[in-house]
Amino acid sequence: MKFSKLSQLLLVSLIGLVVASLLTACQLVTVDFVYVTDSVSAGSGSAGQIQIFAVDSQTGALRLGAPTVPSGGINPVAVTTDAIYANLYVANNGSDNVIHFSIAGNGVLTKADTLSTTAPPTALAVSENGKYLFVLSGATTATLTEYALNSSGTIGAVVASEPLQVPGYTGDEMVPTAVTVLNDNSAVYATAYDLSAYNPGGSVTSTANPGWVFGFGIGSAGALTTTTNSPYEAGIRPQGIVATPVNHYVYVTDFASNDIIGYQIQTGDVLAYLINGPFYTANEPNGICIDPRGTFLYSADSLSDTVSGYTVSLQNGTLTALSIASQGSAATDTYPTGIAVDPALGRFVYTTDELGNTLSGQRLNPGDGTLQGTISSPYPTGFGPTALTIIPHGNHSLEAVYP
């Protein structure tokens, strides 16, 4: 059959419209960037790196985004950003330094400056107002150090430094694990456990309670003041810590007891146990996060290769377990450690799977908090991914709802 010139033109136009509509329907829209710390190759001396993944707005699927950059050291274990997502900081535990990167609008990282620490850094947090960087460091002696940040995110002088010691047991060996700052910039909390009192496979020389949360009020010029009754008992081996967006509650994962300990933030940023806790998890809960609406809480359960999920009661802080684990929809790859919720939509949860050398993705149902694996999850990374942080891309607003 032959077509006239006019018919051929019409056919070509029709095909072009169909193809264009299909491309539009299938267009990948990046809603977030995920920054993951891992190593270039296996081995304790391997150089660290930061990989950058783009999040598809419709499915939560990940694909490599901006080029991977060196972490500036060995064994990167923690990563965080400031509140305006303009600066990123990574802690290299194996080389005793913290590296500051600037973040471009397309997610590209550019190394800005280096902070050398006197002990291995283990955790990082930036105040909401962008004025201070908190570095938790030490292998057997725990210290929380506060550094000034200028308007461009450059790390400045030490503002305050606080040893994390248990009263009456100041000679005990302490292992620092996590740190968080309240959104109103009023207080910072750090977790550590007493290695002299809890030392699996080794000797125990202390009768102190093993796990602790240390609280410090932040003054107008950054001065740190120990909160009343601090430190607060925190089970056996506190591993992760998070505060609710409206600064009502703090939650800590206890790696050794398989539970989450909850605290109410009282006047003066004093912590008080939630009387209906602790809240049980799967095995070896590690990282912990809360969705930006403050409605759901999730923990990365390292030994179970799962994510435990809970609803958060805004009235009393009670955590009510979701049924995601029994449905098998919260499975991860091997040994999840870090965990985070995307800030742009609050609809995707990702874990760093340290022994699987992957990232696992979960799609969060904002109605009930349940999770379902994202397309093609898990996603390959470098060796031993340990930590991650997520920023919104472009003009996507933050999905934060303050009750």
Contact 318, 272 (CB under 8 A): no
Residue 384: the pLDDT is: 97
Tell me the pLDDT band of 395, cut-offs 50, 70 and 90.
low
Buried b (16+ CB within 10 A) or exposed e, 255-271: bbbbbbbbbebeeebbb
- Give the domains, in start order, of the chain with CATH numbers: 30-392 (2.130.10.10)
- Cα–Cα distance measured from residue 399 to residue 129, given in angstroms and rounded to the nearest whole number: 19
| CA atoms of 369 and 377, how far apart (whole Å) | 19
Range with the poorest average pLDDT among 129-143, 314-328, 330-344: 314-328
Closest Cα to residue 375, out of 66, 64, 63, 26?
63
* Rounded percentage of the chain residues whose pLDDT exceeds 90: 88
Report pTM.
0.91
Distance in angstroms (rounded) separating the CA atoms of residues 215 and 212: 10
Q: Which residues pair with 46 in a beta bridge?
A: none
Reported as a pLDDT band with limits 50, 70 and 90, residue 27 is: low
Q: For 52-86, how does the pLDDT look when each residue is reduced to its tens digit (9 = 90+)?
A: 999 999 999 999 999 999 999 999 999 999 999 99
- Residue 326 pLDDT exceeds 70: no
Task: Report the distance separating Cα 50 and Cα 35, nearest Å.
Answer: 6
* Strand 319-321 versus strand 62-64 pairing type: unpaired
